[in-house]
Amino acid sequence: MSQDLPFTLPALRAAYAAGMRPEAVIALAYARLDATGDDGILIHDARDAALEAARALGAPDDRPLWGIPFVVKDNIDVAGMPTTAACPDFAYLAGADAFVVARLRAAGAICLGKANLDQFATGLVGVRSPYPIPKNALDPAIVPGGSSSGSAVAVAQGIACFSLGTDTAGSGRVPAALNGIVGLKPSLGALSGTGMVPACRSLDTISIFALSTPDAWEVLSVAQAEDPQDGYCRPMPAPRLAPVPPKLKIGVPGRDSLVTDGDAVQAASFQATLTRLRTIGAEVVDCDFTPFHEVARLLYEGPWVAERTAALGARLIERPETLHPVTRQIVSAGLSVTAVDLFRAQYRLADLRRLCTEALAGIDMLCVPTIPRFVTCEEIAADPIGPNSLLGTYTNFVNLLDMCGLAVPCGLRADGRPASVTLLGRAGADAQLAALAMVLEEGPMGATGWDRPPAPVLSGQAGAGELPVFVCG
Amino acid sequence: MSQDLPFTLPALRAAYAAGMRPEAVIALAYARLDATGDDGILIHDARDAALEAARALGAPDDRPLWGIPFVVKDNIDVAGMPTTAACPDFAYLAGADAFVVARLRAAGAICLGKANLDQFATGLVGVRSPYPIPKNALDPAIVPGGSSSGSAVAVAQGIACFSLGTDTAGSGRVPAALNGIVGLKPSLGALSGTGMVPACRSLDTISIFALSTPDAWEVLSVAQAEDPQDGYCRPMPAPRLAPVPPKLKIGVPGRDSLVTDGDAVQAASFQATLTRLRTIGAEVVDCDFTPFHEVARLLYEGPWVAERTAALGARLIERPETLHPVTRQIVSAGLSVTAVDLFRAQYRLADLRRLCTEALAGIDMLCVPTIPRFVTCEEIAADPIGPNSLLGTYTNFVNLLDMCGLAVPCGLRADGRPASVTLLGRAGADAQLAALAMVLEEGPMGATGWDRPPAPVLSGQAGAGELPVFVCG
């Protein structure tokens, strides 16, 4: 029976309440990992330490993540484990937990290991790693998605209850769509970046993968706290949910401008989700995505690549052979970018931000396809850059515009592949997105075959000293 | 009698109410300009157009700046006048008013001409111009201050009732201190930059010089409005004043860390102002200025110089001989700055911002000497860079930290030179600074010899639909 124990927070808590031991849960996690036969998911397998941590938990207590197994993308420090960022030559033994990891472990969560990624978090495909490439949990012909490939696959396979990824240009959302799970990309600055290897420090955030939105939200609630050591960490509204307001105006790409690269199944699937949104009372309005797409192009074609170059430092000059060839090719472009180029692009971004703000006037949030279409491993082998850029169509602009995002499964497409949309809101609106995602999410949870738990009923009443953060715009 | 008419808003309004014609005021303005014998104040003298505008005003109406003469720094467009930025080869005939100029003229103000400046607003001394150098209104041995040299001198000489400057690193505050007038540097984004030649577009703002704080504040109230064309323009609190709250905590550089470059008279003058602050009930506390000074060094020694390089564009490469030699030397440094350098400096700035925020916790505003000491023309001739940097000690960090500032005259120093402090607050706190400055300001108004009008009594009551913006922190 325990072989089928769903790794969701409600199911794990019920099992613990019924007397199950964390050691058994951790053993089950590794049994599942071994059963996948996929040695690309984890770069560092921490089973001995995890079992030890499970034993050390002792009797159950009321900590919110007591005995909950999770994995950490290998560009985030976990004390006592190597951090590689998928570059073996870069590896160092982390002396301390990243700020967010420390909060999760203090809440009782148990780290199973460090997950594979596109090297230095550069990519949306998950195949730019010198380690074995993790297999997409649903279809090995499809890329696992990146850069948080291992983190997403571990959750989609039911190995970890949740995982940490990072998200600069979509790395916390694209793999969620490709593996049929939830990808929560918080507002920039909500989660501390202390102990994370930067990709683009001004645009990075840690992100959360889970099988369901309520689980992802609970993890965010534990992880979020102000960190005085991180200059990019910001005070944020307390992560508290309130029900979806009765009147909600949602901006979407119009049918004529929707980018699905010719995938009619994907286009139909997106329209079906919009129909569902209307069914639950939302007003769906076409929005001009022109400025959003121009912002997306700025990130990948503009001088922000130099932020990745800055993160790699001397390695790019002194030991380029230690880098993945595609990563090297991309990041080298940043060496020749001048500060003048960057200032000019930042001016253009300021102008585009204003245009996007205008496009969002009166709109509560956006709803977009998380990915335009699925991408195969074969395609990426033939062209490592083009399909990768395509995957970022609806994710690239988000952090440059200081928006939050939540990629949520919406059942199956007509061809049986997972449907996924991303809800996008203004900075600080994370709770609004989560409340709607809980109503919207449906269908299989990754590759697990487990039944989706019923959505929690949200109360409109705020507790003492708390305010509901969901305000109808 | 009209020869002595003070060019303050109360005096001009009284004169107009008594039947004086704007043509007479404009004639008086030019008579005063001619009497200075200083042909360095204005680059473009618009007396014919100004007289015509005065005639066209017709009968008095209730517009807030009806018949008020002002001058405009020559890096801001006035329709029908050339804009040179103090670079003759750069000159173009402006087809339209800058956004702010249009608002002032629509309110009835009359532009006397375009004022001299440090070329491309690069400098704090006022002598980096190919045009005749404006003379300091109080002492020709002292630099006029820059970059808004002509704008400050025109007000200090009683030629214009107010003037527009610009302020990136202190150009709207340093010349105010050197000429004994008020320099209001609003929060970034409060005033539109449309129609202004950028120096560092992300850090620039138009600023206001006047003889008194109430006058400067009225001008700001007219000039401020959101401009959808300017990506750096931001919604700001309505410019509405409320009385100084009874408990006010003001951070200052401690006696041991105060930078006056050995000028004991300046140090004593600053302490005298702090005594006055205590007398009016403020709590004065020593603040650690270390992170503020490091931010200041970032601006002048770091990659932000490339923002000036970006503004000059091809000129620096193709026609360097058209630039002032000192300007060319400074701005050329930006050509070799990489985007990687800039990103790293922006990360450092983010960390320093956090340290500065911590230093400001519980503090309502800062009070600093506007300048460490006076600088002579002779000194600058011998070393064009060093004393210029010194002048920016307490101004350079302000825009990088997104703070607002107001330089206010505080009577005379022991040696008869004007005393000046600058109040600094968080973005949006402009009204708090102005309310305190009105209580604090005293002594001569520039070189005019006119009596300072009594400070207005501020009501704590907000009008219908308005809120008092002065909240005790």
Residue range B196-215, pLDDT digits in tens: 999 999 999 999 999 999 99
Residue A460 is predicted with a pLDDT of 58
| Annotated catalytic residue, options B149, B171, B192, B420 | B171
Place B2 in a pLDDT band, splitting at 50, 70 and 90. low
Chain B residues in contact with A306 by the CB 8 A cut-off are: 338-340, 343
B28-33 long-range contacts, Cβ below 8 Å, gap at least 24?
B28/B2, B28/B3, B29/B69, B29/B112, B29/B159, B29/B160, B30/B112, B30/B159, B31/B3, B32/B157, B32/B158, B32/B159, B33/B112, B33/B154, B33/B157, B33/B159
- The 3-state secondary structure of A409-421 reads EEEECCCCCEEEE
- Residues with Cβ within 8 Å of residue A454, at least 6 apart in sequence: none
What percentage of residues in chain A have a pLDDT greater than 70? 96
| In contact, A442 and A409? CB cutoff 8 Å | yes
Crossing angle of helices B22-36 and B47-56, rounded to 10°: 160
Predicted confidence (pLDDT) at residue A73 exceeds the cutoff of 70: yes
pLDDT at B3 over 80: no
Residues of A in contact with B230 (CB under 8 A): 354
State the ipTM, two decimals: 0.91
Burial class (CB in 10 A: 0-12, 13-18, 19+), A169: buried
Least confident residue range of A100-114, A252-266, A319-333, A453-467: A453-467
Greater pLDDT, B457 or B359: B359
Are A343 and B342 an interchain contact pair (Cβ–Cβ within 8 Å)?
yes
* A-chain residues near B342 (CB < 8 A): 339, 342-343
Please check whether residue A231 touches B, CB under 8 A.
yes
Is it the case that residue A294 has pLDDT exceeding 90?
Answer: yes
Nearest Cα residue in chain A from B336: A338
Confidence of residue B242 (pLDDT cuts 50, 70, 90): confident
pLDDT at B295 over 80: yes
Q: Average pLDDT, stretch B96-118?
A: 98
Using the structure block, give the residue that is written with the tokens 């949309």: A421
Q: Give me the pLDDT at residue A84, please.
A: 98
Look up residue A42 and give its two tokens. Answer: 């984890």
Please say whether the dihedral angle defined by the alpha carbons of residues B254, B259, B260 and B262, taken in this order, is positive or negative.
positive
Higher pLDDT, A463 or A362: A362
For residue A237, the model assigns a pLDDT of 84
Choose among A307, A309, A344: nearest Cβ to B310.
Answer: A344
Q: Is the pLDDT of residue A3 over 70?
A: no
Q: Is B328 on the interface with A (CB under 8 A)?
A: no
A-B C-beta contacts closer than 8 Å: 84
Closest by CA position to A201, among listed B30, B55, B340: B340
The answer to whether B317 faces chain A, any CB pair under 8 Å, is: no
Q: For residues A209 and A73, what is the distance between their CA atoms, to the nearest angstrom?
A: 11
Residue B361: exposure state from Cβ atoms within 10 A (0-12, 13-18, ≥19): exposed
- The closest of B190, B198, B194 to B171, measured between CA atoms, is B198
Catalytic residues of A: 73, 147, 171
* φ/ψ of residue B190, rounded to 5: -70, -40
User: Rounded to a whole number, what is the largest CA-CA distance in chain B?
Assistant: 63
Structure tokens, B174: 């340093």
Non-local (6+) Cβ contacts of B287 within 8 A are: B251, B252, B253, B254, B359, B360, B363, B366
Q: Per-residue pLDDT for B147 more than 90?
A: yes
Element (DSSP H or E) covering residue A101:
helix A99-106
Range B449-456 contact pairs with CB under 8 angstroms and sequence separation of 24 or more: B450/B4, B450/B6, B450/B8, B450/B11, B450/B158, B450/B211, B451/B6, B452/B211, B452/B212, B453/B8, B453/B10, B453/B11, B453/B212, B453/B214, B455/B214, B456/B214
pTM, two decimals, is 0.92
> What would the mean pLDDT of B225-238 be, rounded to a whole number?
91
Residue A471 reports pLDDT greater than 50: no
Chain B residue with minimum CA distance to A339: B339
Tens of pLDDT, residue by residue over B13-63, are 999 999 999 999 999 999 999 999 999 999 999 999 999 999 999 999 999
Give the number of C-alpha atoms closer than 13 A to the C-alpha of residue B57, restricted to the C-beta side.
Answer: 31
Look up residue A306 and give its two tokens: 């130099």
Q: Is the pLDDT reported for residue B67 higher than 70?
A: yes
Q: Give me the mean pLDDT over the B109-118 stretch.
A: 98
| Separation in Å, CA A445 to CA A182, A225, A433 | 9, 29, 19
Residue B92 pLDDT > 60: yes
Q: Using the predicted structure, report yes or no on whether residue A462 has a pLDDT greater than 90.
A: no
Beta strands (DSSP E) in B197-279 are: 205-210, 248-253
- What confidence tens digit (pLDDT) does each residue in A223-245 have? 999 999 999 999 898 888 888 88
Task: Report the amino acid identity of residue B294.
Answer: E
The whole-angstrom distance between residue B48's C-alpha and the CA centroid of its chain comes to 27
**Three-state secondary structure call for residue B356:** helix
User: Which one-letter amino acid corresponds to residue A61?
Assistant: D
Task: Enter the tokens of residue B282.
Answer: 């403020």
Q: In the numeric block, which tokens belong to residue B119? A: 């070329």
Mutate to test the interface with A, among B342, B401, B426 (most CBs of A within 10 A): B342
pLDDT of residue B426: 96
pLDDT at B460: 58
Classified as helix, coil or strand, A426 is strand
- Confidence at residue B466, expressed as pLDDT on a 0 to 100 scale: 36
Q: Which of B114, B129, B147, B149 is catalytic?
A: B147
Computed over every residue of chain B, the mean pLDDT equals 94
> Is B352 close to A231, i.e. CB distance below 8 A?
yes
Amino acid (one-letter) located at B111: C
B92 close contact with A: CB closer than 8 A: no
pLDDT tens by residue, A404-452: 999 999 999 999 999 999 999 999 999 999 999 999 999 999 999 999 9
| Contact: B343, A232; criterion CB under 8 Å | no
Q: Is B171 a catalytic residue?
A: yes
Q: Does B350 touch chain A (CB under 8 A)?
A: yes
Please report, for residues A80, A166, A236, A428, the alpha-carbon distance to residue A191 in angstroms, rounded to integers and kept in the order given: 22, 10, 9, 12
Average pLDDT rounded to a whole number, residues B2-19:
93
Q: Give the one of A339, A350, A353 whose C-beta lies nearest to B339's C-beta.
A: A339
Closest Cβ–Cβ partner in A228, A306, A340 for B310 = A340
A142: three-class secondary structure by DSSP: strand
φ, ψ at A68 (rounded to 5°):
-90, 120
Q: How many angstroms separate the CA atoms of A307 and A295, rounded? A: 16
| H, E, C per residue of B15-71 | HHHCCCCHHHHHHHHHHHHHHHCCCCCEEEECHHHHHHHHHHCCCCCCCCCCCCEEE
Beta strands in B82-232 (DSSP E): 82-83, 92-93, 110-115, 162-167, 182-185, 205-210
- Chain A residues inside the 8 Å CB shell of B338: 306, 335, 337-339
What pLDDT score does A149 carry?
A: 98
Which residues in chain B have Cβ-Cβ distances shorter than 8 Å to A349?
Answer: 231
β-pairing, B282-287 vs B248-253, is parallel
Lowest-pLDDT range of B69-78, B149-158, B254-263: B254-263
Chain length of chain B: 473
Q: For residue B245, what pLDDT is reported? A: 82
Residue B399 in contact with partner chain A when CB distance is under 8 A: no
Q: What are phi and psi of A271, to 5 degrees?
A: -65, -35
Find the residue in B nearest to A340 (Cα): B310
Model confidence band, residue B469 (pLDDT cutoffs 50, 70, 90): very low
User: How far away is chain A from the Cα of B186, in angstroms, using its nearest Cα?
Assistant: 19
% pLDDT > 70, chain B: 96
Interface check A201 vs B, CB under 8 A: yes
Q: Do A306 and B340 touch (CB under 8 A)?
A: yes
Calpha distance A100→A223 (Å, rounded): 5
